[in-house]
Every structure is written in structure tokens, then in C-alpha cells.
Amino acid sequence: PPGAEGLFGLMPAYRGEPTATWALKEIAVVPSNPSRGLDTHMGGVLLHDGETGALVAVLNAAPVTEIRTAAVSAVATRALARADAQRVAILGAGAQARGHVHAMRAVLDDPEIRIWSRDLDAAERLAGEVGGAVSPSADSALFGAEVVCTTTAAIEPIVEKRWLARGAHVNAVGSCFPTTRELDT
């Protein structure tokens, strides 16, 4: 609607075998929600029987989004990052950051996790929850990191190329609007 902040997305899917299923994920992305104590991604997933169309499940899309996005980053990290990667920089401290910590631990052997966020309190809460270390700045989190996960709603770049370690693998999943970006040119 006019004057509304955010994005509304619809993601339909169909699976034919082994059991036909229709699905629709609808999600509203509202960058200011953390100031309200809410997740930035709110929505639902509807699952329908692929033969009859009967509704078989309604799911909260926020955890599905957290898990799916981080899982895709884990697959990319396993395929593209250096095999000996040990240092992971997580930029951001929301749901996507948390999901990415768990995902990186699933594909890397006991990595060092560094967390930076513009909201230091949020970074400290997340670090305490997941056993990571808080970095005082984005560049300090990135120093020597072989894997980088950007999970923010940054409007202007928070990562400069010169801060990246040679051969670093970057999972850039935040800032999903055409007028926002996390990485410099």
C-alpha cells in the first residue's frame, strides 16, 4: 500500500513425486520490525494436497525462512569455501544471523564464530546464545575470516572488498531491496 515500508512476496511451488503437493509461501519483509520486537520476515506457508487441493498444513514462514536461507548458504559454503575454513564472520544479529551460525557449524569443523551488528546488545545476546565472540566492528569481524555471512538490512554497504581475506567465501543474504546493499562495488 502507499506509504508502507517493506516488501510482500509470494513464492509458489509444486512437487509431483513421490506425493503431489502444492505450496505457497507468502512473506512480508518489514525492516523496521526489530524496533517493535518483531522478526523482519512475517508470513505463512500453505501446503495443499496436489491431487485434491485440500489444505493440509499452515506453517509460520519466519522459521521456515530462517532455516531455508541458512541451509542454502550452508550448501554454497560446503561447495565453494576452502576446505580448511575455520573463521566465520556473521554480520547481523537477527534470525538470519542465528540460522547462519547453526548452518555454518553444520558444514564446517568447529569454526570460530565472530558476530558483529550495529546493535551491540543484539550481537552480545546472539553470541551468548550460540557461543560466538562479539566483534567491535565489521572490519574486525572480517579480519582473516574465510567465510562471511551478511544477514543485515543495510542500506549502504557494510563490507568493503579490502576487508575480505584472500579467497574468502561470502554468503550475502540480507538487504533484499533494490535500493539496499551490504557489499561495496
Residue 32 confidence (pLDDT) = 83
Other C-beta atoms closer than 10 Å to the C-beta of 59 total 14
Least trusted range by pLDDT, from 48-52, 163-167, 177-181:
177-181
Three-class DSSP category at 102: helix
Q: Is 86 exposed, middle or buried (0-12, 13-18, 19+ CB in 10 A)?
A: middle
Q: Is the pLDDT of residue 5 over 80?
A: no
Q: What is the pLDDT of residue 4?
A: 62
Q: pLDDT tens digit string along 111-121?
A: 999 999 999 99
Edge to edge, what strands does the sheet with 169-172 contain? 133-134, 112-116, 87-91, 147-150, 169-172
Contact predicate 131/138, CB 8 Å: no
Alpha carbon 173 to chain centroid distance?
5
Task: Tell me the C-alpha distance between 31 and 169, whole Å.
Answer: 26
The sign of the torsion formed by the CA atoms of 100, 101, 106, 108 equals positive
* pLDDT tens digits, 90-136: 999 999 999 999 999 999 999 999 999 999 999 999 999 999 999 99
3 or 29, higher pLDDT? 29
CA distance 117 to 97: 10
